[in-house]
Amino acid sequence: MKKDTRVISTLNMSREDWLQQRRQSIGGSDASAVLGLSKWSSPYTVWADKTGRLPEKEDSEAMRLGRDLEKYVASRWCEATDKKVRRCNFILRNNEYPWAHADVDRLVVGEDAGLECKTTSALDLRMFKDVEFPTQYYAQCVHYMAVTGMQRWYLAVLVYGRGFYTYTLERDEEEIAALMQAEETFWRYVEQGVPPPIDGSDATADALSTIYKGSNPETWELYGMEAALEDRRRMKEQIELLEHSVQRIDSSIKDQMKDRESAYCGDWRVSWKAQTRRSFDWKKLAKQHPEISLDPYFKTTSTRPLTIRKTN
């Protein structure tokens, strides 16, 4: 580890203090999003989080499993590699990269290296089979090597019920320089309070809907958006044509299959099985039992649907 690495103990640190620490700089889990390579986050969501515009994510079952199984994944990696690891109860910062921090899972004993432990669904299995290093975790591990100065980073991935995979990433100074330059450029947006360019990811769309979930009756003039709105109109027309073409192919397949549940064509497999779904008919209940108030059982949600139309 670099001599100029600063450590902040996380032992007995409250969750609020931990969140405050991580908002002060870019962490390893932010690196892929900053580069626009994450399917869960985006540059805009990282910016909104660091500037306090987004609420903290609610704890999910996947997040809970990841924390609870971290020790098990580390143990499995030690068993597979005959190496030893130790916990790192610190947030690490490097004076060379003041916009970055590292909150690593494990450090490898007797080696200038660290270990990242991951758990994931069996649906993601193909992302880990026969690959040199999983793309979605590459930037995270490069980020950790940059902050810590270490020469190597290991990755262990438990795919629930389907497999356990290990990978090794060696230090590459050019990769580190490129990532740190991208992060430094991004961090200026945070320091200036100016959002990065908007992208088309679901993460960005969800973040905007969360931040601006309220509305007021004021009418706003959109400056310089005429060309973009016209492009949008043409794209919507193209999407409708493509959807019609896809539906035509689907209908041709159904016409051939008739009442059969499955079919194949070369390497393609098709399934068309009958399914049933039960739903609660609250309107019927209200009609038959008007004395029962259903109001306590309705959940109210607020949305802001975006409607675009041309007036002439």
pLDDT in tens, 171-181: 999 999 999 99
Residue 248 has pLDDT above 80, yes or no: yes
pLDDT, one tens digit per residue, over 110-147 is 999 999 999 998 888 888 988 999 999 999 999 999 99
Residue-range domain boundaries for the chain: 5-211
Average pLDDT, the chain: 92
Q: What is the pLDDT of residue 295?
A: 87
Residue 191 phi/psi, 5° resolution? -65, -35
Q: What is the pLDDT of residue 170?
A: 97
* Confidence category of residue 221, pLDDT binned at 50, 70, 90: very high
The pTM for the full model equals 0.83
**Exposure b/e, 126-151, CB count within 10 A at least 16 = b:** eebeeeeebebbbbbbbbbbbbbbbe
Q: What is the pLDDT of residue 299?
A: 85
Distance, C-alpha 159 to centroid of its chain:
17
Token pair, residue 91, equals 């947030």
Q: What is the pLDDT of residue 4?
A: 66
Query: Which class is 5-211 in CATH?
Result: alpha beta
* Spatial contact of 104 and 144, defined as CB atoms under 8 Å apart: yes
* Spatial contact of 97 and 183, defined as CB atoms under 8 Å apart: yes
CA dist., res. 30 & res. 185, Å (int) = 14
Q: What is the pLDDT of residue 130?
A: 87
Query: For the ranges 6-15, 18-27, 42-51, which has the lowest average pLDDT?
Result: 6-15
DSSP 26: B
In the predicted model, what is the mean pLDDT of residues 275-285? Answer: 90
CA dist., res. 114 & res. 283, Å (int) = 59
